[in-house]
Amino acid sequence: MSARWKFLLRFALLLALFEIPLLTQPVDQYVVRPLSAGIAAASGELLRFVNQKVTVNGTIIAAPCFAVDIKNGCNGLETMLFLVAAVLAFPATAAQRIVASFLGILLIQIVNLIRVTTLYLVGCHRREWFESFHLAIWQTIVFATAVLFFAAWSRRAVARA
């Protein structure tokens, strides 16, 4: 079996291993919802920093002009799992994969923080644009960030080997 097929098989297995638990109630209750609430809190702080008068209640960021509820799929978790599965499946040293996983997760969460705050602002000031930004533009940007990060990291990891 070629190295590419081994990578794809490991990637698919890891992705399934990471994604299937997301379907269970305990993982949703103790991992997904707290992550989403943390993202809402951080986004609320960033919005307050730019003088938005928002309140945060769990996963909801609200103000008189608009409210967003950060659900699974909007918290960056699935993109992080996709990226980590790709990194762990790639033939690199353990140290390289650990560092790349950490940096990739950090990057995805920074991009997702920007995503949530800008989606709130778009919803507040240009509500007619919200669905396009939410479903097309930002989903593409977040996922493309993961793919581009992996492509750049894997090229660099191969060059070092």
3-class DSSP string for 26-77: HHHHHHHHHHHHHHHHHHHHHHHHCCCCCEEECCEEEECCEEEECCCCCCCH
What residues form DSSP beta bridges with 66? 63
Please give the chain's pLDDT, 161 residues, in tens.
788 899 999 999 999 999 999 999 999 999 999 999 999 999 999 999 999 999 999 999 999 999 999 988 889 999 999 999 999 999 999 999 999 999 999 999 999 999 999 999 999 999 999 999 999 999 999 999 999 999 999 998 877 65
Q: Give the distance, in angstroms, between the CA of residue 35 and the centroid of all CA atoms in the same chain.
A: 11
Contacts of 127 (CB under 8 A, 6+ apart): 66
Residue 137 DSSP one-character state: I
Q: What pLDDT does residue 73 have?
A: 84
> By CB neighbour count within 10 A (0-12 exposed, 13-18 middle, 19+ buried), where does 1 fall?
exposed
Beta-sheet pairing, 66-69 with 60-63: antiparallel
Domain boundaries, the chain: 3-160
Torsion of CA 117, 121, 122, 123, to 10 degrees: 100
Q: What pLDDT does residue 41 have?
A: 97
Token readout for 117 is 């705050």
Q: What pLDDT does residue 161 have?
A: 57
Residue with token string 């809190």: 41
